Amino acid sequence: MAFAADPQPGHGGPLVIENCAIATMDGPRHDDTGAEHRSGHIVVSGGRITAVGEGSAPAGAAAGARRIDGTGCLATPGLINTHHHLYQWLTQGRAQQSSLFDWLTELYPVWVRIDAAQVHAAATAGLGWLALSGCTTSTDHHYIFPPGDRGVFEAAITAAARVGLRFHPCRGSMDLGRSAGGLPPDEVVEGPDEALAATAEAVRRFHDPSPGAMVRVAVAPCSPFSVSSRLMREMAGLARGLGVRLHTHLAETREEDAYCRQTRARTPAEYADELGWLGEDVWLAHCVHLDEAAVKRFAVTGTSVAHCPTSNARLGAGIAPVRQLLRAGVPVGLGVDGSASSEGTTLAGELHQALLVARVRDEHGPAALSARQALWLGTRGGAACLGRTGEIGALRPGMLADVALWRVDTLAHDAIARNAGPSSPSGPSSPSGPDGDPVAALVFGPPAPLELLLVGGTPVVERGELRTVDISAAARDVRAARRRLAT
Ligand SMILES: [Zn+2]
């Protein structure tokens, strides 16, 4: 299936941003997030950052570059979304009082009818919305493949290219239909051999292992309650043979924990371990219900976690032990999760949510997570989940020029930034003081307006407007697709 391309903005040339606060997120750890500048510069050339620092850009930096005045703004690395199901944009607002299993049971019969054009419309709208909330790299975990349709996986990849985001599509699969004791209807599950072949084909066609890649594919069977142990094991072997990363859902709800203990005589984490699904090449969505042994095992094996606070709260699933995971050395990224379980899908909002839910859950209360740690989750933690530390998630020379420039001089943000003083530090490396704390304004405050979003040095958002696709047309397309799916 072919989809029309929008005209690209075509000015990804050299660029200098000056006079802005900068949080580089270039530190060694989540509790030491690195250098910050009160009024600094970022120089971009050839899609990469060539200079970052305090004061004006060096004389002669990027000759002929476009210059952007960042006065009143905070520059951060572009945010990284580590878990999503873009097609669910079409089924928001349903099953409002349901827990995960009931919610899935209500929605599967609708999703069974989805086609490539609908996925493309939902992905364009969803990725456009993500870009407008500061996201420069997103995943999409797609596991609904109606029989005979071969264009569904490609449809989201085409949408990401149009919107201009770096994209990590995760080829999902399910082989445990209702008749075999699973949750999904039989017509939407694949046979194990069929799923393995289609996943290998998706990697062969779309995965780009080269530095600076715009598309990298992960192997991602859906979850332990919709996938057989045979397929989970063979998918892990396939991914490792192809040199790509592994992703799935794990330990999301109490129901899943009980199901796993009942059917496998294991906790979800023990079961994943037994299947070869813990390791440095694995990132797992949710991980709400982990015991101490599981946290230790994740740390020892180098397994990463995609934390999805809004979705977990919406479905009443619980709150992941983020503080414990971070202290154990487990990389944790942020995810908006599917549009039908988060309903919001703004990644900047997840910084705020992560901060709040960690403080509600933990006996350490307000010390459970700082504003800078929340920003670390959305940047460095995300890069670790996707195996891209050293490429994205921090602002330093040589990194890809994925940059978000937030306005923190609005009425709401300015008040937080300027009032943040030495008596209210938001983290060990906080520069809060008489000149304020723009990171606190970004994370504690309402979502900040986006002045500029660069992906590989190319502007995708400018002054709050998407530059790559017509958002009104995307909204019309997604409305039409939703109506078609509902009939
Ligand atoms: Zn999910």
The Cα 406–Cα 404 span in angstroms is 6
Give the Å distances, CA to CA, from 70 to 55, 132, 301, 405, 454: 12, 18, 42, 8, 14
Distance 106 CA to ligand 1 centre (A): 16
Distance 64 CA to ligand 1 centre (A): 45
Distance 249 CA to ligand 1 centre (A): 6
Distance 416 CA to ligand 1 centre (A): 33
Whether pTM > 0.85 for this model: the answer is: yes
Distance 335 CA to ligand 1 centre (A): 9
Distance 83 CA to ligand 1 centre (A): 6
467 vs 340, more confident: 467
Distance 311 CA to ligand 1 centre (A): 9
pLDDT score, position 426: 46
Distance 270 CA to ligand 1 centre (A): 20
Distance 268 CA to ligand 1 centre (A): 16
Residue type, 175: D
Residue type, 68: I
pLDDT score, position 320: 96
Distance 84 CA to ligand 1 centre (A): 6
Distance 161 CA to ligand 1 centre (A): 22
Using DSSP, state whether 454 is helix, strand or coil. Answer: strand
Give the Å distances, CA to CA, from 206 to 1, 144, 402, 409, 481: 15, 18, 21, 41, 25
Distance 343 CA to ligand 1 centre (A): 13
Interval 88-101 mean pLDDT: 74
pLDDT in tens, 104-150: 777 777 778 888 999 999 999 999 999 999 999 999 999 989 887 77
Cβ-contact 213, 184 below 8 angstroms = no
pLDDT band per the 50, 70, 90 thresholds, residue 459: very high
Name the β-bridge partners of 466: 461
DSSP state for residue 32 in the 8-state scheme? B
Give the Å distances, CA to CA, from 429 to 31, 191, 304, 351, 438: 8, 52, 24, 18, 13
Distance 196 CA to ligand 1 centre (A): 20
pLDDT score, position 110: 75
Averaged pLDDT score across all residues of the chain = 90
Distance 374 CA to ligand 1 centre (A): 20
Angle at 185 between CA 183 and CA 190, to 5 degrees: 100
Distance 394 CA to ligand 1 centre (A): 26
pLDDT score, position 37: 96
Distance 271 CA to ligand 1 centre (A): 19
pLDDT score, position 376: 98
C-alpha 1: how far from chain center: 26
Q: Does pLDDT of 2 surpass 60?
A: no
Angle at 373 between CA 310 and CA 358, to 5 degrees: 40
pLDDT score, position 163: 98
Sign of CA dihedral 407, 411, 413, 418: positive
Distance 111 CA to ligand 1 centre (A): 14
Using DSSP, state whether 448 is helix, strand or coil. Answer: coil
pLDDT band per the 50, 70, 90 thresholds, residue 425: very low
- What DSSP letter does each residue of 264-284 carry, written as one string? HSS-HHHHHHHTT--STTEEE
Distance 360 CA to ligand 1 centre (A): 23
